[in-house]
Every structure is written in structure tokens, then in C-alpha cells.
Amino acid sequence: MAKNGVSLKTKNEDGIPSVGLEITGIALLAVALYAAVSLLSYSEAYGTSWGGFVGIYLSWALLKAIGYTAYIFPFILAFISFGFLLRRIFAFRLAVPVSFAFFILSASTLLSQMLDKNLFTGGPSGSKAGGLAGAFLSRYFTDILGYTGSVIILIAIVLITILIATGISVVRIAVWASPYAAAVLGRVFNGDKAEAGVEDEAETGEDTAADEPPAQKPQTIKTAPVIHHSREQGEQGKKKEPEEKERLAFSNPPGSFQLPPLSLLEEPPSKQDCVDSKTLLENSKVLEKTLLDFGIEGRVLEVRPGPIVTMYEFEPAPGVKVGRIVNLSDDLALSMKAVSIRIIAPIPGKAVVGIEIPNAKKDLICLREMLESQLFSKNRSRLTLALGKDISGAPYVADLSRMPHLLVAGATGSGKSVSVNAMVLSILFKATPEDVRFLMIDPKMLELTGYEGIPHLLAPVITDPKRAAGALKSVVTEMGKRYKSMAEKGAKNIEKYNQIISEEDSGNGDEAKKLPYIVVIIDELADLMMTSGKDVEECLVRLSQMARASGIHIIIATQRPSVDVVTGLIKTNFPARMAFQLPSKTDSRTVLDAAGAETLLGAGDMLYLPPGTSKLQRVHGVYVSEAETKRVTEFWKKQGTPVYDNVITAEPQEGGDDDTDDLGAEFMQRYKEAVDVARELEMISTSYIQRRFRIGYNTAARIIEKMESEGIVGPAQGSRPREVLRRG
């Protein structure tokens, strides 16, 4: 604050221009209006003006100094005043008045060159269009550049100063005006040509009438109708083709199995171009105004409409903190009348902030539309998953074999289960039971039971959480067998192993016995973790760490992504994650290590984290109806019955030691040593075995549990050591 007097601040605490700038704007606008009235009513002959005595001298001085350019002077003042009144601070404060000053001088000089002199001879014409300033500068420009050169340079200076002062692109104006200019020139040219043709025909008609043959009936040329290619017409054309061509023709699977035709899926609804440029422009203006009300200046550079949301790329002014924009998500949702708004600050690789606003009308993304896309049909992988479309409307697919495991989380009604069904159907449209086998675990008994009986299943759909732990242990055992077989053949992965087996068997004339992929699908992880959390977590961690090369992949879905369900070990070994709408930021961070899932729209709207990157992709999921799922499963059931694995389907035995085969020789050797030690003692505990043999707690606990199952030690007695029942 100044010591003497009052100081007008240009900004308040929020960064918004204060009342001082508004006072300046009102004063400049008043001066501009007064100058305009004085100039328009000024009469040099009578010496009168509506502006009174001051207006007469002001008009005389302006016209004398800069000539006809004086009539532009009030508009310049009004433009500057609006900048203050609209609370917009120019990026370069001195650039605007300096540019206008050069504009006035260059325009006065140009008027003096063209009007005060003869346009062709350069001689004086008696006019004073450029005033004293224009006449003075015109003389020097003519001496240095010549008459023609000075006119060219002055026109360039006028255009440059307009561009700097107002930001109005001259090129855009030219592009906008070019169609109108071309239309006018075309009418003039065609009109002259038509008149000339009529005159020529009138002059030569009488001379050529006798030589011409008899007139024929004039031919009528029909204008070709504009054909609107709708989706229905395209699908009708496809229906005329044989049914075999509706199948995905990327391969011909061996054996007696046939891939299902796409006609089993419902046709996507017809989609018309619903992008309204006017609406997008209005939303951009509302977005800019709302941010400006909170003291954030900038402009919308690009708008990218999509099937569900529209991305507005906002470029903030220099000095604006990105965090301020992120904190205004709720205020922007209120002004845009949106359910929720997601802000990406900044967009990777761009100096802009992405603001995703839901569309008023949302498109329905069907599975058939995704399977018909080139991106899906040309992918050679049997485990290609049709996830949906990105925010720009392009199909988005992923390869499960490259993930190699997927974690899916979402609240009830967010579209999680529908997306899992779409993934299963994506594989069923590309792979036969000889290529892919499924192990489905559905404790809720709702989502995956519809696939019961398809020939791809390794076992019936498991609904008992206790049996699920045993099934996962069987998959771990299968993984070990596969690695042993691959080591014998010198293969590093299942693809190389199948290639070697195919070459060997084809040489012997026998049928190739390839190893199929195994996809384990768990629809609700929380139920398994509550009943057999320790065993389930151990199996999942082991599979996720080692099963990729053996062709075993896991898809886990849960609606409760808390830390006791999605543990640190599970999340670490599942690099590919997918989050649908979640109730809180905490759940979003648990799944994705970042917030954002709480702002999703539901109905299949998801955030996908690809493996090997931290960049989230927003994808709108595919919709699959129950009728479509039933038609596809019935198609596969008609081709054969499943061949179940006896190990997986076996009932778990109470107190049995059916898991000793998977414990390993090293563990059994350590177990025998621990039994010998226990028989020499009266009491024994897990911590004692851990210290004695220098092993981990988990291994020591398994040794104690095995001793209890074999009757060597007694049951646990709280924190006390166990009693040895069978001593040496």
C-alpha cells in the first residue's frame, strides 16, 4: 500500500483482477464513445461537433495528425477497454498499445501513399487522407523503397500489427472468406459465359439451322441420389454371404470343432453422426468462462468427441498451477451439468490439461462390432480380449498372453461381470477346446455358471470356496509338469514346445498332442480369501510368478478391492489391472495405484492399466446380453461334451495328505529331519523348528501342520508349544 493516497491492486488474493481494472476499462470506453461521437458529427466547414468545444479541437487534431485513420481510433480504445471490463489480462501488456500505435502509423502512411498520390503515377492528388504523420512517413518510404515497394511493405505491417494486437488470424479469415469469394467469382464468370453463349447462338442460329440434322429427343440427366450408408444396409449385405464367412477367418482350427459364427451375436444399433459442432463450441465457452471465474485463464485448443465422453484439451495461461484446475472438478461438473468430470493434468506428451465430460447421448458398444473390427480379427493370438473402445471411439483390444494375468475390480452394477463375460466370449470366438481350456471359479453362483457344459472346461464350474483352493493347487501341479516337459524338449515357452511337438509328430505320422492354454477365471476373490485366504493367496502368487511361460493365465474379479483381499503380493504379480466405478479414492489407489476410478460413469466405463506402464487408459466396455451368451454356449455344447481333469474334480479329503506330492523332495527331507528331532522332545513349536533348521515361518508352519495330520504332535494350545504324541 502506498504511504500517501490509495493504491489500486490489479489482482486480489485469488488472482482475479480487482475493481481498479474495471475503473480503467470504463474510463477508456467513455473516451472511445466521446471520440466517436465527436468525429462523426464534426464539420470542418462550420466548425461544429456534438462533442462541444473539446470535441471540435479533438476531431480537428486527430484528422490533422493521422487523417482518415482517426475514425479507427475510437474502436481501438473500445477494444482495449473491453479487455479490462472482461477481466482479461493480456499476456504482453505493452504489446497491445504498441501494436496499435504501429498500426495507426502504418495505416496513415498507407492511406497517404494510395490516396494522397495518384495510384498509377505517384503524383499528388490533393487529398489529405493520411494526415501530417502519413504524409511525412510516406515521403521517406517512397525514397527508400519506391512507391510500389512501400505499399507492399505497409500492407504487411498493417496485417502483422492486427495479428499481434487482436490475435485474429489473417489466414483463418482468408480461409473463411474464400468459399464466398469463389462463389461470387463463379457466378460472375458463369453469367458472362452464359450471356456470351446466348449471343453466339443467336448470331449463328440462322446460318446453321439448314445444315443440322433433325433434332433428337433431349436426354434427361438424373442427379445421383445421396446414399446414406447406415449400419443396417451394411449388415444386410453381409447376410447375403455364406454363413461360413461370418466366422473369424484368421485360422482353420484342426479337429472336428468349428468356431461360432458372428450371427450368434446381436447386430449393433444404427449410429448416426451425433456430433454437434455448435454444442461442442458452446461447451468450450462455458468451460473457459467457468475456469476464468475462478481466476484460471486459458483456452480450449482441441475437442475430441467419443462414444461416451468428450475430451476438451485446455491450455492454461502461463503461471497457472495445474493443481488448481484439478481441484475444480466438482465445480466444473456443476457448471457443465455433468454427473462427474475426470481431469487429466497434464496429458502425457502435451502441454494441455484434459477434461473429460460425459455426453448427453451415449452409444452402446456391442461385442459383434468389436469382433468385426480389423484390430481384433487380424490378431493371431488365441487369447485376444475385446475390451471396448477408447475415448475417441477406436476399438481397444488386449492380448492376455502378454499381460499375462489380469486383475479386475468394480462396484456392484459397474459392468465388471459383463466385461468378464465379454472376455470369455472373445476367446470362445477364436479358440477351440484344443487351443484353450478354462477353469472357472464362481463362489457367487451367478455369472459363470452359464458356461457349464462347454467343451473348453477343465472341470465343472466350481462354486464351493473350499474346493477352489484344491483346484488351484492342482493347477500349480500342472504348471510343474509342464515345465518338466518343456525342459525335456528344450523349449522356453508353450509356443515353442507345441511347435517342437508338432514337428516331431508330423514326421512320425502321429497326431500332434499340443498343450492347450489354461485360463483360470475367478469371479469373486473376496469369498475365497475369507474361507481359504492363505492357501488361495499362496497358489495365486506362485502361479502369477511362474505360470506365464507354461501357458497358464489368470483373470481375477472382485467387487471389494480392500487391502485384505487384494494383498500386496497379489497386486505386485498382476501388472495388468482394470478398475470400473469404485466408491472411493482409496479403493482406486488399491487397484491402480492412482485415483480416478471413483469418477467413472458406470455401465462398463473403466480405467485400464496396461502391463509395463503407469499410463491409465480410459476404455468404454463392451455390452453382452444373456441371450448372446446363451447362444454361443449352446453352439459349443452341440459340438461335444467337456473332458474333465480327474485331479481337479476329485473331492477334497478331510485330514488327508493329498498335497504332499507338490511339496518337493527338499521339503520332505527337511520334514523327516524335523520328525526325528521332535521324537526326542516332549514339546515342540513352530518357532523352534524355524530356529533349529534356519527356515522361514511358512515352511516351519507347514511342517507342524503335517506332523499334526500324521498324529506325531497334538493340536495347537494357544501360544503354548505342541505336545509330542509319538516319541522315539
Give the domain CATH number at 689.
1.10.10.10
Output the domain CATH number for residue 595.
Answer: 3.40.50.300
358 bridge partner residues:
309
Same domain, 342 and 393: no
Same domain, 48 and 145: yes
Dihedral of CA 692/698/704/707: which sign?
negative
Same domain, 353 and 409: no
Residue 568 lies in a domain: yes
Contacts of 460 (CB under 8 A, 6+ apart): 452, 644, 649
Q: What end-to-end distance do the CA atoms of the chain give, in Å?
A: 95
What's the domain range around 704?
A: 660-723
Domain stop point among 620, 649, 678? 649
Same domain, 634 and 673: no
Same domain, 412 and 327: no
Residue 639 lies in a domain: yes
Residue 645 lies in a domain: yes
Residue 428 lies in a domain: yes
Q: Helix, strand, coil proportions of the chain in percent (round to 5)?
A: 50, 15, 40
Same domain, 564 and 425: yes
Q: Are 552 and 475 in contact (CB under 8 A)?
A: yes
Residue 83 lies in a domain: yes
Output the domain CATH number for residue 346.
Answer: 3.30.980.40
Of 543, 283, 304, whose CA–CA distance to 404 is shortest?
543
Same domain, 575 and 664: no
Of 513, 516, 522, whose CA–CA distance to 544 is shortest?
522
Q: Are 383 and 399 in contact (CB under 8 A)?
A: yes
Residue 489 lies in a domain: no
Contacts of 110 (CB under 8 A, 6+ apart): 130, 134, 151, 154, 155, 158
pLDDT at site 720: 80
Q: Are 71 and 37 in contact (CB under 8 A)?
A: no
pLDDT at site 217: 37
Task: Count how many domains the chain has.
Answer: 4
Same domain, 452 and 350: no
pTM: 0.57
Domain stop point among 115, 144, 173? 173
How far is 423 from 387, CA to CA, in rounded Å? 7
Same domain, 446 and 568: yes
297, amino acid identity:
E
Q: Within a 10 A sphere around the Cβ of 594, how many other Cβ atoms? A: 14
517 bridge partner residues:
436
Q: Are 714 and 725 in contact (CB under 8 A)?
A: yes
How is residue 98 written as a grid cell?
504498441
Domain stop point among 173, 204, 223? 173
pLDDT at site 663: 54
Parallel, antiparallel or unpaired: strands 406-409 and 552-558? parallel
Residue 260 lies in a domain: no
Residue 718 lies in a domain: yes
* 362-387 residues labelled b (16+ CB within 10 A) or e (exposed): bbebbbbbbbbbeebbebebbbbbbb
**Quick one: 187 exposed, middle or buried, by C-beta within 10 A (0-12, 13-18, 19+)?**
exposed
Same domain, 398 and 334: no
How far is 717 from 728, CA to CA, in rounded Å? 22
Same domain, 637 and 579: yes
Of 613, 608, 623, 611, whose CA–CA distance to 391 is shortest?
608
How is residue 105 written as a grid cell?
502509423
* 283-299 residues labelled b (16+ CB within 10 A) or e (exposed): bbeebbebbbeebbbbe
How far is 205 from 561, CA to CA, in rounded Å? 90
Low-confidence stretches of the chain (pLDDT < 50) are 1-17, 88-92, 118-126, 192-254, 652-662
Same domain, 329 and 420: no
302, amino acid identity:
E
The residue written with cell numbers 477494444 in the block is 79
Parallel, antiparallel or unpaired: strands 576-579 and 406-409? parallel
Contacts of 431 (CB under 8 A, 6+ apart): 253, 382, 383, 456, 517
H/E stretch holding 440: strand 436-441
pLDDT at site 418: 92
Of 709, 699, 711, whose CA–CA distance to 671 is shortest?
699
Q: Within a 10 A sphere around the Cβ of 254, how many other Cβ atoms? A: 12
